[in-house]
Amino acid sequence: MKTQLTRLFGAALLGAGLLAAGPALAQGAAAPARTAFVDFADVVERADPAVVNIRTTERPRGPRGPQGAPGEQDPFELFRRFFGPDVPSMPRPQPNPRAPRGGNQDEVPRGVGSGFFISADGFILTNHHVVNGADEIYVTLTDKRELKARIIGSDERTDVALIKVEGTGFPRLPIGDPGKLRKGEWVMAIGSPFGLENTVTAGVVSAKSRDTGDFLPFIQTDVAVNPGNSGGPLLNTRGEVVGINSQIFTRSGGYQGISFAIPIDEAIRVSDQLRASGRVSRGYLGVRLEEVTKDVAEGLGLSKPQGAVVTNVEANTPAAKAGLQEGDIVLRVDGRVVENRAELVRQIANIRPGTKITLQVWRAGKTRDVTITLAERPAEQTAQRGGETPPKAPDNAKANELGLITVDLSEARRKELRIKGGVQVVSVDGAAERAGLRAGDVLLQFNNQEILSAAQFNALVAKADLRKTIVVLVNRNGAVNYVPIRPSR
């Protein structure tokens, strides 16, 4: 089965009396002065009442299904998709006797998940995918009360949702600082795997700032989480919430020792906006981005692979209006270093629309500043361009030392691409072919130098030191990126 990141309808398990090991000892080094056992029992006793089970239902739509109810589907079908066809069918849930009276008797069970109180007046954090599409949301507390909840706001991009039940005096979980988490530190999760309420599991922090999505640097752990754990808290040994359990990495569809949690500081930032306006507003540049590889950094004269390559600038966006160009490498945002593409996306998204920012970019071998006023990120973006039909190679044309035959672009084509020069590849062989170039590609730069014509490009290649990596800036079907070519290999 294809490896995938799987969002869970989910929770987690417990571990108590686990040995907290000190740092590894060099040979002959003295043993640490003390070791301690981590006992989660007291933490669980305090935290358990603030964790809730969430079940969602939907109203029947369409004709009667094979199970008898109108449009009804097996609520555990999702779980079998996670775990494969060999997992036996699970018993169908019976109608909940605690369900609020007067509700729609034709409601169809939709899924289960977890959540936790962040305020005494009933605000609960969970995952977007737990409540998305639900017609009704029911929250079960540890004292067996079941309350109806309403959605305050839900954000698909971060997978964070804020819901609320009516009442006061609810126990809430203290908020911790994910920035102080250390690799190897013990953490635990509480939730409702497979609907088994208030189940506890424990493990360690495996990695921090793991990039599995544009807007969130996840906390990676080996805490066991399964369908039903989603939305439940990840707690440190002091009982503070440091994350929201959200995803697993799996080849089988089930837990395989790697799980991911949304850092609680990121989730609180989103929930504050949801509470204030019911939606999340993010800064927007209007560009597509790629990573800077080691070969590209060396070829362009950067000290290390850092920043993000602008591969496309959308028309009539803040980036286009400010003069940001395809091929620019963004190195800093208002003085803050950009390590990679995901970090740039997060930095921009966390800035309020309408804010004026300064980007430091690498362009043609030099750094320069570009001032941009951010817009608000649109709900959805689509940018599609069709492929280009490459022209034929001139008669008797010979490939240059990189294995390329190129032709000048027409004035109309240059205008379409909004460039002054550039050449189009009509034949590829040798080192260029090994690098992944192909007919139809438009070459814009050669080692930081703008390509103006096919003759000038061939002259640049002839003068280049082919013992070193060559970096060309390529436009392919509207997307621009750097491609390293290793002539001597």
128 catalytic per annotation: no
Joined tokens for residue 232: 């439940």
Query: Measured between alpha carbons, how far is 457 from 440 in angstroms, rounded to an integer?
Result: 16
Query: Measured between alpha carbons, how far is 459 from 346 in angstroms, rounded to an integer?
Result: 41
Taking CA atoms, 363 is separated from 279, 303, 309, in Å, by 36, 14, 10
211 catalytic per annotation: no
Joined tokens for residue 405: 């035959």
Q: Residues 114, 129, 271, 408: which is the catalytic one? A: 129
Backbone angles phi, psi at 269, to 5 degrees: -60, -40
Q: Which H or E run contains 415? A: helix 411-417
Joined tokens for residue 7: 């969002």
Query: Measured between alpha carbons, how far is 226 from 200 in angstroms, rounded to an integer?
Result: 12
Taking CA atoms, 414 is separated from 393, 397, 408, 457, in Å, by 19, 23, 10, 16
Query: Measured between alpha carbons, how far is 67 from 364 in angstroms, rounded to an integer?
Result: 65
Q: Residues 114, 192, 206, 230: which is the catalytic one? A: 230
Joined tokens for residue 441: 């590609």
Q: Residues 159, 295, 328, 408: which is the catalytic one? A: 159
Joined tokens for residue 65: 């299904």
Beta strands in 338-464 (DSSP E): 356-363, 366-373, 375-376, 404-408, 423-428, 442-446, 449-450
Burial 323-355 (b: 16+ CB within 10 A, else e): ebbbbbbbbbbeeeebbebbbbbbbbbebeeee
Let me know: does 138 contact 54? Beta carbons within 8 Å: yes
Beta strands in 317-469 (DSSP E): 329-333, 336-337, 356-363, 366-373, 375-376, 404-408, 423-428, 442-446, 449-450
159 catalytic per annotation: yes
Let me know: does 248 contact 256? Beta carbons within 8 Å: yes
Residue type, 327: G
Query: Measured between alpha carbons, how far is 30 from 36 in angstroms, rounded to an integer?
Result: 17
Query: Measured between alpha carbons, how far is 185 from 223 in angstroms, rounded to an integer?
Result: 12
Of 245, 280, 248, 249, nearest to 264 (Cα)?
245
Active site residues: 129, 159, 230
